[in-house]
């Protein structure tokens, strides 16, 4: 039980610090909050709503991982280094992929809601 409590504290600390210091995380948190309300209108069913919100949470999770990678890379060296640039670009590409997935799920949900599919 103590381990679970400590893990929860670490997670909350990471969430708070991330939202305080990282604009991209704040932007995506706002996206989740808007999605929570907008999804209620767009989602054709409860399962669709869960999938739609789930994709937004995936975007947020991937952004946290990307931020961690960038912070670690900056800690290793602030100098321009081609391999570190590639690593940061890989993290950015992961965020792009998660955003693309979220956009696809939301567009299909909207199409289903409008009777287009």
- The reported pLDDT for the residue numbered 80 is 85
* Tens of pLDDT, residues 18-64: 999 999 999 999 999 999 999 999 999 999 999 999 999 999 999 99
49, 4 contact by CB (below 8 A):
no
- The reported pLDDT for the residue numbered 77 is 83
Domain spans in the chain, listed from the N-terminal domain onward: 2-113
* Tens of pLDDT, residues 77-103: 888 889 999 999 999 999 999 999 999
When mean pLDDT is compared across 5-9, 49-53, 76-80, 107-111, the lowest value belongs to 76-80
Q: How far is CA 12 from CA 6, 18, 58, 64, in A?
A: 10, 10, 17, 13
- The reported pLDDT for the residue numbered 78 is 80
- The reported pLDDT for the residue numbered 90 is 97
Rg (CA), the chain: 17
Q: Which residue has the tokens 């949900």?
A: 109
105, 55 contact by CB (below 8 A):
yes
Q: What is the CATH number of domain 2-113?
A: 1.10.287.3610
Q: How far is CA 69 from CA 36, 84, 86, 110, in A?
A: 28, 10, 11, 34
Closest CA to 39 of 57, 15, 21: 57
Active-site positions read 63
């Amino acid at each position: 039980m103590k381990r679970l409590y400590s893990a929860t504290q670490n997670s909350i600390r990471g969430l708070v610090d991330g939202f305080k210091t990282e604009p991209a995380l704040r932007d995506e948190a706002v996206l989740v909050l808007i999605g929570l309300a907008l999804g209620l209108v767009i989602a054709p069913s409860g399962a669709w709503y869960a999938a739609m919100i789930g994709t937004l949470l995936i975007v947020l999770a991937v952004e946290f991982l990307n931020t961690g990678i960038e912070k670690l890379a900056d800690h290793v060296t602030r100098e321009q280094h081609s391999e570190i640039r590639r690593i940061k670009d890989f993290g950015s590409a992961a965020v792009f992929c998660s955003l693309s997935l979220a956009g696809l799920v939301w567009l299909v949900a909207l199409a289903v809601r409008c009777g287009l599919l």
